[in-house]
Amino acid sequence: MSRKLTRILVIDGSEVARTIISRILDEEMPSAQLTLCGSGREAQARLEEQHYDLITTALLLPDMDGLDLCRQVRAHPGHHHTPVIVVSGDANERLLQEGFAAGVTDYFDKSLGYQAFVEFIKGFTQRNPGLVGRVLYVEDSPTTARHTLKLLEHHGLQVVHTTTAEEAIELLQHNAPGGPEADAGFDIVMTDFFLKGAMTGGDLLHAIRSKFRFTQQEMPVLVLTTAESPDRQVGVFHAGANDFVQKPIVEEILLARVRSLLLIKQQFTALKLQAEEMRLLATTDSLTGVRNKCYLLRQGAGFLEDRRNQPVAALLLDIDHFKRLNDSHGHLTGDQVLEEVGALLNASVREGTLVARFGGEEFAVLLPRCRLEEAQARAEELRAGIEALRPASHIITVSVGVASTETCPEAELTALLDLADRALYTAKETGRNRVCA
């Protein structure tokens, strides 16, 4: 999902306070863009220059009251909804009521200290992430488009506007996984339901859900419609929309709907990343960075099933005299050797090759579309590379066994690995630091 800096405006008449807050915020929230002001008038000037995601102000400022500043912030069209935190050591009931009436979002008790204040800001921004994302906006009315574009962009959203469903589908095609602009994908789609042209908003929804197969969590869609009848509104949901906003657009309602859908997308992205991390943890050897044996046995079978009449080769590499190394220099040195050998193997193989830790000091490599002669050459390259590596400043050699379905076309994975293991035994018995097939 697209990211942006969290822009925070801190207003405090004390230079010492500003310095301490700035230092702690830089440590705790390095991604935040911080602006410091010493007076209300200076803050007003900054508010004219850009939009902020959060404003904090001391209750007592050199030139005005913090609540008066809050009222001015609320009167500013660009900051009508910006959260304002007032910092005070004397927030009694009367002050609280007056402050909330003035538009204060929350209070912080400054007697808790600067570190607690920064933690408060950090927690607040995490609970209220604001509007962050990239929007595909489809609207054929120039007047409506100008107004909505200005509103969305002012609140920090990146918006790509188009006037037809056909153009929107083309943009989605480019931004879909595997497309030329997949890294700059959209977070949500906003579309008018009744578009001019051959395709309507309903057709666009059908393409999003059926052609691109985006789920409602993966690509939320907000429909803008003039439909007032319940039947038509229900039709919008049946077409695949997550939600709708009725025209003419009310700013607060539109922003609330967009924020809700962006949260859905953020949660989907976070869960997807978490699932990928869990998958990698479950299938990767934590020490060496290569795949683990469980993954090899499960996925390796697919190599042979999907060989398409092309040979598959297996290499088994065993580090020579590894037990002696462990006994002489300790297990930490042994771990470093395994880690560096694993990194070299990962870096040396071509795309589509499977590298896994097969045992304690043993590695397996599956090479698709690889004849025996080529596999032997690749094994020799890896053997020489490891000998030149000098992991943990030690001369390390490996023995390598090679097998290929070229010589045993009916072999399953376990049989192929068994053949490579026999070849590895021969390499060990005939002097080590060599390749045998």
Q: Choose among 11, 14, 17, 15: nearest CA to 35.
A: 11
Is pLDDT at 2 greater than 50 in this prediction?
no
Is the pLDDT higher at 408 or at 396? 396
In 3D space, the residue among 139, 35, 116, 115 whose CA is nearest the CA of residue 82 turns out to be: 35
Distance of CA 278 to the CA centre of its chain: 14
Tens digits of residue pLDDT in 27-53 = 988 878 999 999 999 999 999 988 888
Q: For the residues of 24-57, what is the DSSP string, one character each?
A: HHHHH-TTEEEEEESSHHHHHHHHHH---SEEEE
Bridge partners of 58, per DSSP, are 87
Q: How far is 124 from 121, CA to CA, in rounded Å?
A: 5
Q: What is the distance between the alpha carbons of residues 70 and 73, in angstroms, rounded to a whole number?
A: 5
Choosing from 27, 181, 228, 361, the catalytic residue is 361
pLDDT of res. 6: 80
Name the token pair of 108: 């912080």
Tokens of 382: 């890896």
Residue 361 annotated in active site = yes
Mean pLDDT of 239-261: 92
Per the listing, tokens 């030149």 go with 388
> 260 has which bridge partners?
none
Treating both helix axes as pointing N-terminal to C-terminal, what angle do 413-429 and 293-305 enclose, rounded to 10 degrees? 120
Average predicted confidence (pLDDT) for the chain: 90
Span of 195-209, 226-240, 354-368 with lowest mean pLDDT: 226-240
| Strand order across the beta sheet in which 158-162 lies | 158-162, 134-138, 188-192, 221-225, 243-246
Map tokens 């830790």 to a residue: 357
Instruction: Of 179-188, 258-267, 306-315, 336-345, give the range with the top mean pLDDT.
Output: 336-345
Task: State the Cα–Cα distance between residues 247 and 192, nearest whole angstrom.
Answer: 10
Tell me the helices (H) and strands (E) count for the chain, helix number first. 15, 15
Q: CA of 379: how far to CAs of 234, 264, 282, 315, 364, in Å? A: 63, 49, 28, 7, 11
Say which range, 41-50, 56-65, 225-234, has the weakest mean pLDDT: 225-234
DSSP notation for 226-294: ---SHHHHHHHHHTT-SEEEESSPPHHHHHHHHHHHHHHHHHHHHHHHHHHHHHHHHHB-TTTSSBPHH
Q: Which domains does the chain have, with CATH numbers?
A: 6-127 (3.40.50.2300), 134-279 (3.40.50.2300), 293-436 (3.30.70.270)
> For residues 1 and 252, which has the higher predicted lDDT (pLDDT)?
252
